[in-house]
Structure 1
Amino acid sequence: MKKYPLYIIGAGAGEADLISVKGARILGQSEVVVYDYLVDKSVLNYAPPKAEKICADELDDKRYSDGFSFRVKLITDLLVKKIRQGKKVVRLKNGDPTLFSRLNEELEILRKNQVAFRIIPGISAFQMAAAISGIPLTARDVSSSICITTGHEANQKKHSLVDWKKVAQNDTIVLYMAVENLPSISRQLIAAGKKESLPVAVISRVGSIYQKMITGRLRDIARLAQREKVTAPAVVIVGEVVNKEKKFNWFKKARKILYTGLSGERFFTDGLIFHLPLIEIKPLSDYRELNKVIEKIARTGNKSFDWIVFTSRFGVKYFFEQMFKKVRDGRALSGIKIAAIGQSTAAKLRDFGILADLVPSEESSFGLLREFEKIA
């Protein structure tokens, strides 16, 4: 039995489309996806509908405990099992897989089991937090060094590996998993020589609809975070660069628009769009009625229909997928005129080599009816 390499992919932080192009392409060929609970679930849409999708954190009930060695074993045992079954497996991690994702522990077990692997990087939470809040982590006037460290270490450790005196020597400090320990971290940084007035930003749920950001000083940031009920997951940025946020925080200044439709996200618009589709398009379980129509068109052409009207790009997709299964030739539509409700639908028709004969200037059902009234 052929065994494929395991792909360990960074899903990015926050929005689903922050996964790399390569990562999305690999997901598109996967058969099994084992993902972390922090991964935006819409990232899974890049995987085939029939792919098995397993949340790694639901393999046991200790998601928030420090028994991570047990969880890592459950996850890697599952990965090894699926690989040995000849499956194309993806291990999908939030952010970047090489940073605070327990990658080392998983790789050790995979290596012992002689599982070949490939690692695809992703955008980490600290990069997203800095970018979305307009905080340049380095700036010639105030920062030429960065330290990225954790604010929470495993309870099993006998000695902390974080030397706060060394950490304090850096111009910019980025902290992961630090919200609960902000009081003690602030005290240790001040004791190590950092000014009490040093600016601090805390950004939680980075890049999501629920993102929350507070700023303060090293002396009071813990109190502010508690007052504002800032919760994990969050990124903490400490340093003079945080003052840049006042000028450069484009996210705070942008209009926020919640869009619930199915169309793709718009970018060059007057506002920041959060895409939250409230409906889902799925293929029919039975296409017999459509297949009868397609077979009739194939036999009689424009003697059956003068027009075919498409009112969505999804209708175009499923119609032509079925047609090519039955007829395998677009020339079956020769002599039949094609109408599209709007430019998006017309663009989808062009993907199948069809140019719409009619696209109303008013992209709606009423617009279509008005155009047909003119023809009649």
Structure 2
Amino acid sequence: MKTFGLLGSGIALAFALGSPAASAQQDPPITLDTHVDIPFAYMREPRFDFGKQTPLQVDLDKMRRGGLDAVFFIVYVDQGPLTPEGWAHAVAQAKQKYDDIDLMVKTYPDQIRLATTSDQVLANKKAGRLSAMIGVENGYSLGHDIKNLDIAYKHGARYVGLAHMGNNDLCSSSTPEAALGDTPLPEYSITEFGRSVVKRANQLGIMVDVSHSSDACVREVLALSTSPVIASHSSSRALDAHPRNLSDELLRAIAAKGGVIQAVAVQDFIRLDPARELAIKALQAQVAKQAGDKSFDSEKHEYLPAYVEGMKRIDAALPPPNVDDFVAHIKHMVEVAGIDHVGIASDFDGGGGIAGWSDTSQTRNLTAALRRAGFSEADIAKIWGGNLLRVWGEVTQRATANRAG
């Protein structure tokens, strides 16, 4: 479990709403977060009911208070063995998450609707509704069967992340896992199955997501894909040398393909702090032991008073990065890749959260930080959703054109 260019008329209208003449304190036309995780008990336990007061970083009330319009909710599964049993388990876990997202939108149809096109996101905003989209994190959940990508598309998935932590049957990971038998240096970049996933995603109109993939895999995907590619939640390696972040070379390459990189508000990907990381790991081990468990489980332990209070002590002694630190990544990425190729992801409820943007209710703090950094209202509109919607629209149009041809 986790612990830590074609511009449609609808998008053009959204940008017009955010014209320079607008008030400096006006919300951007669309605020869109490309990566929010959900627990396996989502909507099936009262504490994880989107429409209620929850301990989650993202729920209905927090989205409304913070002014966040649209979220890609994530169908994520842990990396497991590359066996028929492992793949079957991953497919079953993914189905549960698709069902849970479906239950959410069916329970609160007047508040949030599933959006399967970029135009639907804009229509929901115009109607005063929030948008739920679906992204797949870790192509392992496809169960080594390309037909499951079509099933994911029918469920509403509009991006597919090829890997997570640990190499899989699609490609090598930026963070190989010794426990899975991975070697420190990847023995491969992308597999034949991975190539088939990229090809079929292009045909369907699913954005291919290279976050978590190894550098070699990212390069292969950029060469293979006939549509722009996204990195759904990755920050700058030049500012923080974490392997999960992207180098300037890869930022430029994704931009040259017409894609977008969504800077992510995960503390370790913004500023490495070994002392803080060690303190958190020690707290997790202590809380798990007190609960009678061998290891820390975020879904079970993260909301316990002992963990919440322990994190408050750690935050006071070893402060996390803040919104200005995060915006420094965004600024660098814009300088390298261009203003049309950078967006925002929180990774909330999956390890994300920084000082000033610790949950969705604080979303306007991040917008204020972008303004402090000198970004114009037009730039902010692009970063907060316009760029991702443009890429999504182009991926859809290319798929439609290919089908018509």
TM-score (norm 1): 0.26
Structure 1 or 2: larger strand share?
1
Higher RCO, 1 vs 2 (CA within 8 Å, ≥6 residues apart) = 2
The structure carrying a bigger helix percent of its residues is 2
Question: What TM-score do the two structures reach when normalised by structure 2?
Answer: 0.25
